Structure 1
Amino acid sequence: MRTKGAQLTMQQRAALPRARLFDILDSERLVVVRGARGSGKSALITSWIEHGGAKGRVVCRMRPPAPNTTADEYWSALIDKLRRSGVILSATDTTGDGSAFATLIRTLAQIDVDVLLVAEHPTRLDAVEIAGQFAQLATDCPRVHAVIETWHVLYGYVQLLTEGIAEIGPHDLRFTCDEVAELFANYGFQLTPEVVRSLRHTLGGEAFATDLALLMSKRLGYAAVDEFGDAAPELVAVLIDTVEQLLSRSSVTAWRAAILATAPARKLTNETAAVLGVTDAEELFETLERQGLLQRTSSDLAWEYPAALRFGLLELERRNDPSLGKQALIRLAEHSLAADDPTAALHYAVDARAWKRAGRILFAHYARIVDEDLGGLFRAVCMFPRSELARFPLVRAARFALTTCNESAIHSVELPESFEDLAALGASQDVAETVTMAITEAVALRRSAKFAEAVALSRRIEPILYGARDAGNEDVARRAPLIYLQTAVTYQLTGELADATSDFQVAFRDGHQFVRRQAAGGIALNWALCGDARRVRKWLDVENAQPFQDGEFGDFMRVAGRCAAVLYHLDQFDFVTADALLQGLGGPAFHDELWAFIAYARCQASLVTGRVDEPLSWVTRTIAEHRAHFAQSPFADDLLTAVQAELELAAGQANSADVRINATTSKHPVVVAARARTQLLTGRPEDAIATVTEIDWPASGYVRAHIDGLLIKAAAHLDLGDKPHAVASWRQACFLAEHSDCQLPFAFMALDRRTLLAEAADMPGPAVPAGSDIFPAAAPFVRLSVREREVLRLLAEGAAAHQIARKLFVSENTIKTQRRSIYKKLNAANRSQAVSTAQELRLLA
């Protein structure tokens, strides 16, 4: 961590190690780093070099050429610099054309050292000529790695694909949410995920503006942008001052009016400029690009102002004439709707703070906007003032779905009780608003840990959707897939996986791309939790066939599918793939409702790969952290209790596992399997058999836990000498594994038992890779009688033998005898050792 202090330069503060961009800089011998002023180009290149990008190379930096410099003079200066650095001794033109570039190529093609050439804004020369020369340099000089820093587009899409040239464009340079959080953390600010996302969306993740926000936050003592995207007045003032300084430059002043007129446009074309009253805009665009004030996107080469510059220009316009900027934004919103671009229209309406217009656009085009720009939708719904949310239930629903804002419900929805009355409500004309408010309430209840109420409300919403469908209500039909998606998540979080899968399937059938991706991943996760590997594989293939949005919301949409994929590959003993998927999944984020499934997948991976010690403390810490953010559901509690007990068993902490698993009375299949395993491994086979017969396994739907229970039952019968019943249970387990492709439970049984049962049944079962055994045949376990536990508790409290005797109404000699028995069982020489060991084994819990 760097030393904190405002005296550091922006380049030093922004020089984070950015692995995703470092990989691009390492990948090709010619990389273009392109972006407008303040985009962090120099900071990235400096950070890359500092973190080993130049290792083994001679670094040669070429400063921007002075005005009127020719290409020949530029290359001659490079030759001279290389000569002074000792890379070349002399340079001779052997081609006969007399150009410095030809001499340079011929000389560098023969050098025996690696060179990193960093060229700053060489496009002040003829951009087309210089681009071609750098491409030739990369092709003809294999020991030269060139990085160009520029404001201009140098190479087209085809060149970037075919000529071994890479580009880091302006959107690539933007800080991700993780990078924003890391930057602020390096200087003493631990931002919440909501603030990080809002700060990034408000300022575009651009280096200069993010740095200003960091400095302002240090000065204010709190984040300069709040969780709803509102920037502190002090930050707004600094951004306006920065814009004023840019507009006052002699090279820009003549264009001031045109810049302010076109600032409302998110993407600049001659058409949008004309909507804003600016004609012959191409000259303006090219001039501003030369000044580093305008940039082209990498995807479609559209012109745009950097997000923070546009923010400052709009704020300046609002300060000077609030109505003028608002009118321009509304014109752009109307133009976008006319051009069938409701996503852009929504953003313009939000920029104009025209909340009624924005609400109408969202109401009419919600599903399409979700598909096209989920991140932009997040920004839009966060920008809505709280006072406006009561008027727009759909905005409130989206806000609940995409954020973790802990806002109390605005309306409580009164719905009928009977199916018939609910369906009749669905047939009414104004039901769209009612059902939107109802799903909003259901999500709010879910996020408030009122899971039973959330499920009850979700069940009453579905008949309304049936009635609306039968009545041909198109407004409800457009929203129904998203509503089903939310009811499915509610059921999933509460462990009602059959109902969750049913609603996910309806959402998948009727939904757009976003809904289909989420639904397919949700179905895959449900089957993965149950352990039906064949169905998991099917739905993972379906999910992978759906296109994903880039960025953090693309990652957000992948969470369920990635958890499913981890569990699937563990079931197939493909630990390498599972580990790679876990790396992509990361740790459970604070704002992720599926955090418990992520934690469960990580713990399962640790369990089956033998890394059991660290996850025990990690999962305990993770549960504690997330209780404050998302309350733990009973289903999450079952999953995590079971996997924690199994981690403890695998780590040789059988007493801890026994205490943990018996602290819950849950009859959930995963808990029952973990409880029966604990009983089996601690020498209680009769109890294990009794436990696994407590539930109706086929009806439960949990294939993996069912196979697990059968194998535990087989091992218990084997320990009791009942080979026929052991073989029968083994055969059933093998049959289920064959039909579900779920193999992992066989690694939970000790090798000697597997071998014996396979031979006795003449049925080998799935092949378990060597060294994959997870649990021993028996686990060390300390058994204390009820009276010994009472004595131990009083010893831990510091009571003497005579005091304990008096309290328990027995003789002092009896207590001394029980104390010796306790010490022997705990392998302890004295009270202190006995108490310490008992605490480790959770015998005092």
Structure 2
Amino acid sequence: MDRDNPPKLSIYRGARKEKGAALMFGTDGHDWAAIPERRTIAVSIPRQALFAKLDRRAALTIVRAPNGYGKSSLIASWLRANLASERILVWVSAPPPSSTLATFWALVLERIHAAGIALPDAGDLADPFTAIIKSLNDLPRPVLLVLIRPDLVPEPELDDQLIELLTRCHNLDLVVTLSGFGMFSEPYLLDTDHEVVSAGELLFTAADTAHLLEQTDAQTAAGDAERITSLTGGLPALVRAAVAAVEEAPGVDNRRPVIEKNIAQAIDDYVTGSVLTIAERVKQHEFLLAITFARSITVDIAAVLFKSQHHDAAETVRRIRARLVTLETAGLLSRAESEADETWELSPAIRQSLIARHTRAGIEPSQRLSFLAHNRLDGGHHASALDYAIEAQNWTLAVDIVEQHWVTMIVSSLDTVRSALQRIPVEAADKHSAVEAGRALFTMHPSKRASVVDSLPESPAELWKLGAEAGAKDALSIGCVQSIRLRMAGEYGLAAETTRRLAHLSRSALENNPESVSAQLPLMRLQWAINFQLSGRLTESTIKARMAYHGALSQGVDFIARNSAGSAALNWALAGEPRQATHWFELEQKHPDPGGWLEPVVKIAGLTARALTALDMLDFDDARIALTELGVPSDTEELWAFVVYAHSQFALTQGTASSALSLLHNAIEAHPIQYTATSFALPLLQSAEIDLLLALGEGNKAAALAKDIADPAANPWTLASVARLRQRIGQNEAAVALCHQFDWSGESYPRAQMESLLVQAVAHSELGEPRLAAQEWSRACSIADQTGLLRSFATIASTDVEKLESMAKSNSRALAEFAKMPRAELFPEFVHIVELTEREQKVLSLLAIGMGSAAMADKLYVSVNTVKTQLRTLYKKLDVHNRNEAITKARQLRLL
């Protein structure tokens, strides 16, 4: 069909068109006048995600939401922007609430005729429904029928008739707007192809609000769109009213309180003019006001609230439910589909406006909200009770709920607990150590009340004695707060020491008072595992993570189990035990993602472990997937150094060391408090930076960094990297000597030990010591066979691999597996560095401060010719030709 020249609609109108009837059709053949003008105002905004749903052209599209969500406006905007000319549009406005099936279908038939569609013979008009089917089936063109609020027709048969209409008219697409679930309550059970647009999808985002603001003449400021969206909850009708209120705000410094006051007034006006008017019309005004205090409204809660304000009302459960359904159908309540029991909700902004109305009428909201808190608490709904207590600012009740029930609440309502702990005032929590501990554990914002908190005893005997006392639970809570505070302040050594004391205390408390402390231990042990992990005590961290995992497993707390398993996996992956890391990562994956704010926090350890393990086993594709999901660590991420380390190790395998160096330097700059002498981040990233520089052939820069490390042998990561650097720049004896300075018989670090053995094997080979070379090679291969480490073989040249294996004939299974893998050598076989004599270094220093040859000669007590000879030698070593080039090159090589 030629869309630019559509067939004229007059041929479809038939003989029943009255003479002189004025039908307003656009050039595209659509009856645009049928769409109410208020639905197409200039402030309509593009909703591309929703338009995509409508563009799918499902046979049935349901747009379901209460009043004020912009259902009709959405459809009108979409029609104006997207309706293809081959479809005939039939728009049917909302029917009167008293309509019968017959009057409704008569209205639809009238609109079909108004759209230019010919009516059937007079004998078929007695039954409008049959007439509609005949009229549509006689058309060669498709039809889009838009029905606004057909659920206002109180006839249950209408659902079936609409489906029958779609079944019998194959050229028909149907779009309906509904309020509530009176119609098509379970569309997924229909055989008809359908699409649903829900209330949540219709809410405006801050970007949508910003788009509306751009179309006004108002003087806007940064944050206006976000503030409007927050205050209105994104409800389209309220957002539009708020945008109008912003236009009236003066462009002065105090505009924010003025804007917020204007918005509040705009919301109140909407509630008065629309919400309460409709409630009055359906005779539910008093009922609506009574149930306003409830966040989630069930029949039982509604009955309790209504009865508490209308003591003489003898309402049955059926009658209360009928009232709620009436408000739902009227477009004032929305149904919460996620709840097992029937539950309704008011828009939060409308609810707040109605509560404020109660306050102005002399009804104290805190009393009603506290009443609801106690009611929910008596019913065992602890999280809901906490919500109401917080809203009522009944801090005594809120603290009591947290102290008594936080362990059970975190299983399914962690966000509620976290939000509550953030809002409870410090003075209300100060006398409750468990609440203070919870604030630290859940929000990672420990109390700053350091001087009030007593230190834990140091000796095991005193700790054991304290654990047997009634205050053991509070001591554990306070101690955990202290350890987290120290950790967040970058005092990782002190945090680890505090954690060791807590471990002694918890063992005693668990033996003497198991009922009082066992519930909180999994979460605390997870925090202790992180304390040890960030200070580099991986063995102790793994022990605590394992205990936390099994404790969480027994209590059914998935997010703790998942986080603990991920932490254990990361420890094994860092140490170089890919098989153990894989085991714990698989355990982590058995627990669901927690979702919300907690999801990235919980997943980071496991994803980092997955990346490092994949690299050790040369599975670069899986490593890339894990690192892509990890992304760049945020400034607030505690495991930032581990994520950067994983990115750096991947970069070594991909030849992208330069970009990894930039990431590493930026991350260190963003975490000055965490990059301290007692943090594991320091040696880990020093090691990574040396390796990246070595891979780039930047021997002098790597050597300068290594020189700044006071004792490279104090840590297996720095030892392996510095030893490798020394070997690659030709200092084989120094490399071997450094490797012998670490006691490998203590804690197990297979990767670092294997890499140090490979360094020694190559060094001995170059020193002409084949027996020692073969011995160290065989030991390295044995570690690879035991652990599954493959990547470490790539830290030496392939020619060295072949040479050493020919000497030792290890017949290593891991080596055979490594030989099958596509790989690249991680480091150059030899790295050149510029080394200056003491006199050359002195000449360079004088050169850098601008001293001439004669002045240098006087300073050094030598002749000018001697200085010139030393300058020539210096220039030759630096491969430069003049003073400025020499200074620039020397700084690049870290010689200045």
* TM-score above 0.5, yes or no: yes
Equivalent-residue separation in structure 2 for 1:380 and 1:26 (angstroms): 43
Could you tell me which of 84, 89, 93 is aligned with 1:65? 93
Q: CA deviation at 1:9?
A: 9.5
Which whole-Å CA distance do the structure 2 matches of 1:753 and 1:81 have between them?
84
Select between 593-602 and 201-210 the one with higher mean Cα deviation. 201-210
Shift of 1:322: 6.2
Q: Distance in 2 between matches of 1:679 and 1:58?
A: 77
Counterpart Cα distance in 1 of 2:786 and 2:79: 54
Over 3 Å counting, the alpha-carbon distance change for 1:610 and 1:74 in structure 2 is farther
Q: Helix, strand or coil for the counterpart of 1:551? A: coil
One-letter amino acid matched to 1:608: T
Amino acid at match of 1:340: G
**Of 521-530 and 308-317, the range deviating more from structure 2:** 308-317
CA positional deviation for 1:435: 2.3
Residue identity opposite 1:377 in structure 2: V
The residue number in structure 2 matching 1:585 is 630
Q: How does 1:639-650 map to 2 (within 5 A)?
A: 639-650=684-695
Contact 2:674 2:681 in 1 (8 A): no
CA distance in 2, matches of 1:47, 1:660: 62
Q: Match of 1:86?
A: none
Distance 2:481 2:700 in 1: 45
Is 1:716 matched with 2:763?
yes
1:386 aligned partner? 426
Task: Trace 1:553-568 onto structure 2 (pairs within 5 A).
Answer: 553-568=598-613
Paired letter, 1:691: L
In 2, distance between residues paired with 1:151 and 1:495?
58
Alignment partner, residue 610 of structure 1 = 655
User: 1:480 and 1:801, CA in 2 relative to 1: closer, same or farther beyond 3 A?
Assistant: same
Aligned residue for 2:380, secondary structure, equals coil
State the partner residue of 2:295. 266
Who is 1:684 aligned against?
Answer: 731
Match of 2:566 in 1: 521
Matched ranges for 1:242-281 at <5 A? 242-249=267-274, 250-253=277-280, 255-277=284-306, 280-281=319-320
* Cα deviation digits, residues 391-412 of structure 1 (max 9, x gap): 2322222222333547522532
How far apart in 1 are the matches of 2:84 and 2:198? 27
Deviations 1:530-559 (A, max 9, x none): 121111111112111123322221332222
Aligned residue for 2:416?
Answer: 376
Q: Which residue of 1 aligns with 2:37?
A: none
Q: How far apart are the structure 1 equivalents of 2:675 and 2:685?
A: 15
On the 8 A contact 2:615/2:650 being kept in 1, the answer is yes
Alignment-derived partner of residue 6 in structure 2 = none
Contact 2:105 2:129 survives alignment (8 Å): no
Q: Describe the shift of the 1:800–1:180 C-alpha distance in structure 2 as closer, same or farther (beyond 3 A).
A: farther
**Do the aligned residues in 2 keep the contact of 1:413 with 1:434 (CA within 8 Å)?**
no
Between 132-141 and 575-584, report the one with greater CA deviation. Answer: 132-141
Residue aligning to 2:853? 801
2:435 matches 1:395 = yes
Determine whether 1:546 maps to 2:591. yes
- Structure 1 unmatched ranges of 5 or more: 1-7, 84-95, 225-231
Separation of aligned partners in 2, 1:319 and 1:28:
49
Q: CA deviation at 1:133?
A: 5.9
Correspondence 1:284-683 to 2 at 5 A: 284-290=323-329, 292-300=331-339, 302-318=343-359, 320-321=361-362, 323=364, 325-405=365-445, 408-409=448-449, 411-511=452-552, 512=555, 513=557, 514-627=559-672, 634-665=679-710, 666=712, 667-683=714-730
Deviates more, 1:345-354 or 1:432-441: 432-441
Closer, same or farther: CA 705–631 of 1 in aligned 2, 3 Å: closer
**Structure 2: distance between partners of 1:452 and 1:490:** 9
Q: Secondary structure at the match of 1:697?
A: coil
Alignment partners' CA distance in 2, 1:582 and 1:806: 58
Query: 1:496: how far off?
Result: 0.9
Alignment correspondent of 1:706: 753
Instruction: Report the counterpart of residue 781 of structure 1 in structure 2.
Output: 833
> Is the contact between residue 94 and residue 149 of structure 2 (CA under 8 Å) also seen in structure 1?
no
Question: Which runs of 5 or more residues in structure 2 are unaligned?
Answer: 1-40, 97-102, 118-127, 214-219, 308-314
Kept in 2, the 8 Å contact 1:64–1:122? The answer is no
Task: Determine the structure 2 residue equivalent to 1:87.
Answer: none
Take 1:101 and 1:795, find their aligned partners in 2: how far apart are those partners? Answer: 97
SS in 1 for 2:831: coil
TM-score when normalising by structure 2: 0.76
The 1:251–1:22 alpha-carbon spacing in structure 2 relative to 1, beyond 3 Å, is closer
CA contact (8 A) 1:692 1:709 kept: yes
The answer to whether the 8 Å contact 2:614/2:622 transfers is yes
Q: Deviations over 1:214-268 (max 9, x none)?
A: 97999898998xxxxxxx7964773464144223323245545433332332221
Q: State whether residues 591 and 629 of structure 1, in contact with CA within 8 Å, keep that contact through their aligned partners in structure 2.
A: no
| Alpha-carbon distance in structure 1 between the residues aligned to 2:804 and 2:671 | 43
User: Is the CA contact (8 Å cut-off) linking 1:105 and 1:137 kept in structure 2?
Assistant: no
Larger Rg: 2
The percentage of counterpart residues that share the same residue type is: 28
SS in 2 for 1:482: helix
Q: Flag the 1:579–1:145 CA change in 2: closer, same or farther, 3 A.
A: farther
Query: 757-766 vs 733-742, which deviates more?
Result: 757-766
In the superposition, relative to structure 1, how do residues 520 and 346 fare at CA in structure 2: closer, same or farther (>3 Å)?
same
CA RMSD of aligned residues (A): 4.8
Contact 2:389-2:395 at 8 Å conserved across structures: yes
Secondary structure at the counterpart of residue 567 of structure 1: helix
TM-score under structure 1 normalisation? 0.81
Whole-Å Cα distance in 1 between the matches of residues 608 and 350 of structure 2? Answer: 40
SS for the counterpart of 2:801 is helix
Letter in 2 for 1:65: S
| Structure 1 residues 829 and 809, CA gap change in structure 2 (3 angstroms) | same
Decide which of 818, 821, 831 is 1:767's aligned counterpart.
Answer: 818
2:818 match: secondary structure = coil
Aligned to 2:772: 725
- Structure-2 change in CA distance of 1:773 and 1:419 (3 Å): same
Summarize deviations over 1:582-628 as a string: whole Å, max 9, x none: 23223223333222222222332333222222222122112212336
1-structure distance, mates of 2:491, 2:209: 33
What is the total number of aligned residue pairs between the two structures? 798
Aligned CA distance change for structure 1 residues 826 and 202 (closer, same or farther; 3 Å): farther
Q: Bigger relative contact order, structure 1 or 2, given CA contacts below 8 A and separation 6+?
A: 1
Cα displacement (A) at 1:105: 8.8
The CA distance in 1 between the partners of 2:529 and 2:693, in whole Å, is: 33
Kept after mapping to 1: 8 A contact 2:437/2:480: yes
